[in-house]
Amino acid sequence: MDLRAELLKSIWYAFTALDVEKSGKVSKSQLKVLSHNLYTVLCIPHDPVALEEHFRDDDDGPVSSQGYMPYLNKYILDKVEEGAFVKENFDELCWTLTAKKNYKPDRNGNSVVSHQDAFKLWCLFNFLSEDKYPLVMVPDEVEYLLKKICTAMNVELNSCELDDYLSQEPQGQGGLTVWQFLDMVNSGRFLRGIEQEAVSMAVEEVYQEVIEDPGADPHVSRAQGYLWKKGQLRRNWSERWFTLKPSALSYYMSEERKEKKGSITLDKHCCVEVLPDRDGKRCMFCVKTTSRTYEMSASDTRQRQEWTLAIQTAIRLQAEGKKSLHKDLKQKRREQREQREQRKAAKEEETQRLKQLQEEKERKLQELELLKEAQRQAEILLQEEEQRRRQQHEEMQRTLEIQLREAEQARASMQAEMVLKEAEAERQRKRILELEEMQERLQEALQQEVKARQDEESVRYAQARLLAEEEEKLKQLMKLKEEQEEYIIKTQLEKQVLKQEMENKNKCLEEAQKQLEEVRVNRQRVDQDVMAAQRKLRQASTNVKHWNVQMNRLMHPIGPGEKRTNMSGGGFAGYQPLLSQRDSSFK
């Protein structure tokens, strides 16, 4: 945090204090007075022409903070020189303006801190607050500051009680404003039982360490005080009041610091050395610069150690390009907070990612359950189809058995009729009637045979259709199996627990394939039965032809002395075209 940022924080409080209506704007006359006071405390040459020109009376009305910033930067902040003014006087001016409006101590005088201590706490708050407006101090910095004050009083801060207090505040988790912080300190909740004088001394010690001596080590509580200094010309020893700044070690006639006697500029080329006792002085040390060596004497060894350590720390900070160790520590604490927030965000992101993975896992499990259900439905449909085919095969087998029995009965009846006609050859008329009856029976047998052929063709067509459906179901089953195998391969890394279930499914598929093979064997067996029935039908056709020949012979009995000749024209000769037509239709 550079000097400009430090000054802007205090000026921001002064500007907001002048904004009575809280509209974000301040009247030009008030800004004119504020600018004049800033010129004075910052030791900047007054520019009355620019001041009058910028804040002249016109119709523009009040000025916002953005409208005031160009003038503030150009005519005030750009001209500020570090070390040319007393920072404490500047802070007191801004504190006076803002405290009148915002600071409300206990009217009964029961406040833990005095008005002057409240000012120092306000300065400490500005130093530790975030570089964002409105200014707030995050809970970690609040705890850090309270711990330093409690440590200075040799008491321990109750961190749990502080966390409870911050959690009860509406904006405590995001940070406290300076007025909330001062109210918290004045409430005595964390400093109960401690006298106001002890609190004041602790605040003064922390203020001197952080604000007045920003180059001192946090564990070195003394970076100002009386030391004996050896003169350069007269070489005599004089007691001086020394104060350590970030880049200089200044010394005065007394602790009032009204008359400054000199200053030692500290840079990376300086060093501190401990000297042996001489000239009646003890606990001596010197500060060496590129142009001169300054010899000093402390009152005791502890004081010398504290001063040498503090000056060495300031020199180290100058060499590293840092003006304050406390600023460096503050920056490190801020970086640690940012790292914690980043880790927290990463953890939340990881939790969200795990949640998404869990949802994806559940979704895939649901999809797998759907696939299982689809497979079960397919197996049920396959079983139903297999049962229906078996019923059709059994029905077709029963039909063929009935037809075979009917054909055997027809053959037996025809044989009986042939015997009767041979026995009754003498009775031609009766024989003709019997032949006509036989003709009708043959026609019926022919019709039955034609019907059997048609039934056979329909059975073959149905069987072919069933085979096509069976192959289609088999393809769907194989496709389902391939999809299932691909899905298993894709998710096998994440679904090891499902491996056994998938093996069971494969076993079920193998059993289904075995059952399908059995169905194929049964189909082949049925085909063989159909071929046997066809052979029987062909045998029956041959027998019918033989019966026609015999009947033709019976129509023309052989007389005494006559030779047997082939009959043509009468009897069963008229049935030959029908039989030929029937045989050609079945071929």
147 and 242 part of one domain: no
9 and 81 part of one domain = yes
pLDDT tens digit sequence for 135-156: 888 888 888 888 888 877 877 7
- Region 91-115 average pLDDT: 80
Instruction: Assess if residue 349 is contained within a domain.
Output: no
| 214 pLDDT tier (thresholds 50, 70, 90) | very low
Q: What angle do CA 54, 57, 58 make, to 5 degrees?
A: 100
Highest mean pLDDT among 22-36, 167-181, 219-233, 554-568: 22-36
Mean pLDDT of 54-74: 72
Q: Which domain holds residue 241?
A: 224-323
Domain assignment present for residue 476? The answer is: no
Tell whether 336 is covered by a domain.
no
List the structure tokens of 113.
């801190």
From the list 479, 470, 480, the residue with the least C-alpha distance to 374 is 480
Cα gap 171→175, rounded to integer Å: 6
What pLDDT does residue 377 have?
A: 92
Q: Indicate the burial class of 109 (C-beta count within 10 angstroms; 0-12, 13-18, 19 or more).
A: exposed
Query: What pLDDT, on a 0 to 100 scale, did the predictor assign at position 229?
Result: 92
278 — pLDDT class (breaks 50, 70, 90): confident
Alpha-carbon separation of residue 583 from 362, 446, 449 (angstroms): 69, 11, 11
> Which pLDDT value is given to residue 271?
92
pTM score, whole prediction: 0.47
pLDDT category, 455, cuts 50, 70, 90? confident
The pLDDT assigned to 6 comes to: 84
Residue 586 lies in a domain: no
Q: What is the pLDDT averaged over residues 437-448? A: 87
Average pLDDT over residues 434-440: 83
> How confident is the model at residue 484, as a pLDDT?
79
The reply to whether 122 and 201 lie within a common domain is: yes
Q: Do 209 and 141 have their domain in common?
A: yes
Whether residues 185 and 252 fall in one domain: no
In the three-class reduction of DSSP (H, G, I as helix; E, B as strand; rest coil), residue 552 is classed as: helix
Neighbours of 256 (CB within 10 A): 8
Instruction: Assign 8 to helix, strand or coil.
Output: helix
What pLDDT shows up at residue 565? Answer: 47
Look up residue 310 and give its two tokens.
């503090």
Q: Can you tell me which residue has the tokens 């607050």? A: 129
DSSP-assigned states of every residue in 427-487: -HHHHHHHHHHHHHHHHHHHHHHHHHHHHHHHHHHHHHHHHHHHHHHHHHHHHHHHHHHHH
* Claim to verify: residue 117 and residue 185 sit in the same structural domain: yes
The secondary structure of residue 79, as a DSSP letter, is G
Sign of CA dihedral 337, 339, 345, 348: negative
402: pLDDT strictly greater than 70: yes
User: Distance between CA 143 and CA 509 in Å, rounded?
Assistant: 69
In a domain, 315, yes or no: yes
Q: What is the pLDDT of residue 53?
A: 75
Three-state secondary-structure class, residue 370:
helix
Task: Mark whether 202 and 237 lie in a shared domain.
Answer: no
Note whether 207 and 254 are same-domain residues.
no
pLDDT over threshold 90, residue 582: no
242 with 278: CB under 8 angstroms? no
Cα distances (angstroms) measured from residue 53 to each of 59, 60, 69, 71, 382:
14, 13, 16, 11, 99
Q: Indicate the number of domains in the chain.
A: 4
Task: Give the residue from 25, 54, 86 where a domain finishes.
Answer: 86
> What CATH number corresponds to the domain at position 41?
1.10.238
Taking a C-beta distance cutoff of 8 angstroms, is the pair 12, 95 a contact?
Answer: no
Calpha distance 531→512 (Å, rounded)? 28
Question: To 10 degrees, the CA torsion angle through 375, 381, 383, 385?
Answer: -150
Q: CA-based angle 579:585:587, to the nearest 5?
A: 105
Neighbours of 240 (CB within 10 A): 17
CATH number, residue 299: 2.30.29.30
Q: How many Cβ atoms are within 10 Å of 544's Cβ, its own excluded?
A: 20
Query: What average pLDDT does the chain have?
Result: 80
The residue among 497 and 31 whose pLDDT is bigger is 31
Euclidean distance between CA atoms 298 and 305, whole angstroms: 9
Would 580 be classed as within a structural domain? Answer: no
Query: What does the pLDDT read at residue 560?
Result: 60
CB of 322 within 8 A of CB of 311? no
Last-in-domain residue among 323, 349, 379: 323
**Lowest pLDDT segment from 160-164, 187-191, 527-531:** 187-191
Structural domain includes residue 147 = yes
Last-in-domain residue among 301, 323, 345: 323
pLDDT above 80: residue 398: yes
Question: What local confidence, expressed as pLDDT, does residue 179 receive?
Answer: 86
Locus of tokens 């939790």: 351
Phi and psi at 578, nearest 5°, equal -65, -40
In single-letter form, the type of residue at position 574 comes to: G
Residue 50 pLDDT > 70, yes or no? Answer: yes
In this prediction, residue 313 carries a pLDDT of 82
pLDDT (0 to 100) of residue 293: 92
Residues 207 and 256 in one domain: no
232 and 263 inside one domain: yes
Give the CA distances from residue 429 to residues 424, 442, 491, in Å, rounded to whole numbers and listed in that order.
10, 19, 90
Q: What is the mean pLDDT of residues 388-398?
A: 90
Q: How far apart are CA 27 and CA 110, in angstroms?
A: 36
Residues 128 and 202 placed together within one structural domain of the fold: yes
* Rounded distance between C-alpha atoms, residue 88 and residue 42, angstroms: 10
Strand residues in 348-405 grouped as ranges (E)? none
Q: Does residue 337 form part of some domain?
A: no
Specify whether 8 is located in the same domain as 55. yes
Q: How far apart are CA 382 and CA 21, in angstroms?
A: 85
pLDDT of residue 563: 52
* Mean pLDDT along residues 415-443: 81
